[in-house]
Amino acid sequence: MGRETPPSPWVLRHAGLVPAGRAVLDLACGGGRHSVVFLATGHPVTAVDRDISGVAHLTERPGFNARQVDLETGAPWPLGRSSFGGVVVTNYLHRPLLPDIVAAVEPSGALIYETFAVGNEAFGKPTNPDFLLRPGELLEAVRGHLEVIAYEHLTVEQPKPAKIQRLAAVRR
Ligand SMILES: C[S@@+](CC[C@H](N)C(=O)[O-])C[C@H]1O[C@@H](n2cnc3c(N)ncnc32)[C@H](O)[C@@H]1O
């Protein structure tokens, strides 16, 4: 998704869960539409993608750090033991990363996740089950680690008809 794509309403709704001033990880950042949101509210942002050309427009912004990483090579989690006040993942799923994504949320921090879910096949791509969350899958991923603030698995009409799953959760 390009930089012209508006931020996800889900991310906007739950952005306030990220403690003031704490660093945010925008994983598989694409055009950086959510990096922009958090930079604008005073959060340092680390944006990770296998192609960081989409965030070239942000590289001069104070507090912005882009890391070009292929997240699906099977190599260890590229961010080591770094943790973040906010971890944001939208329209991206690589299941083996889910435990690392959850672990990257620092105490009092938040995970905000939204991506396509089983049932999206009826609407279009992605249709590959590897890229579609199963019912309750994000709940399972955070169980015992984060407190769920909001969770939905539903059909949306905007920005295009799709079946999605989304979660906002915090580490108490
Ligand atoms: C549909 S876009 C979503 C971008 C952004 N999160 C958003 O919602 O606007 C998926 C992103 O995942 C990135 N991506 C896909 N496979 C990846 C991989 N193996 N490693 C790192 N990033 C990857 C793509 O480059 C792309 O930017």
pLDDT digits (tens, 9 = 90+) for 45-101: 999 999 999 999 999 999 999 999 999 999 999 999 999 999 999 999 999 999 999
Please report the atom of ligand 1 found closest to the CA of residue 51.
25
pLDDT tier, 43 (very low <50, low <70, confident <90, very high otherwise) = very high
Distance, in Å, from the CA atom of 28 to the CA atom of 127, rounded to the nearest integer, reads 19
Please report the atom of ligand 1 found closest to the CA of residue 73.
19
Distance, in Å, from the CA atom of 11 to the CA atom of 54, rounded to the nearest integer, reads 19
144 Cα to the center of ligand 1, angstroms: 27
Residue-level pLDDT at 1: 67
Pocket of ligand 1 (CB under 6 A): 1, 5, 28-31, 33, 49-51, 70-72, 90-92
pTM over 0.85: yes
Ligand 1 pocket: which of 24, 79, 92 to mutate (most atoms <8 Å of CB)? 92
Q: How many angstroms separate the Cα of 155 from the Cα of each of 122, 132, 161? A: 10, 13, 7
Using the predicted structure, report yes or no on whether residue 163 has a pLDDT greater than 90. Answer: yes
Residue-level pLDDT at 5: 87
In terms of C-beta density within 10 A (0-12 exposed, 13-18 middle, 19 or more buried), how is residue 121 classed? middle
Residue-level pLDDT at 148: 98
pLDDT tier, 36 (very low <50, low <70, confident <90, very high otherwise) = very high
109 Cα to the center of ligand 1, angstroms: 23
What pLDDT digit, counting tens, does each position of 135-149 carry? 999 999 999 999 999
Which residue shows structure tokens 């906010």?
86
Q: Whose CA is nearest to atom 16 of ligand 1?
A: 50
Least confident segment among 1-15, 23-37, 57-71, 127-141: 1-15
Please calculate the CA angle 124-36-75 and round it to the nearest 5 degrees: 65
29 Cα to the center of ligand 1, angstroms: 6
Residue-level pLDDT at 3: 63
Distance, in Å, from the CA atom of 127 to the CA atom of 143, rounded to the nearest integer, reads 26
Using the predicted structure, report yes or no on whether residue 172 has a pLDDT greater than 90. Answer: yes
170 Cα to the center of ligand 1, angstroms: 23
Residue-level pLDDT at 135: 98
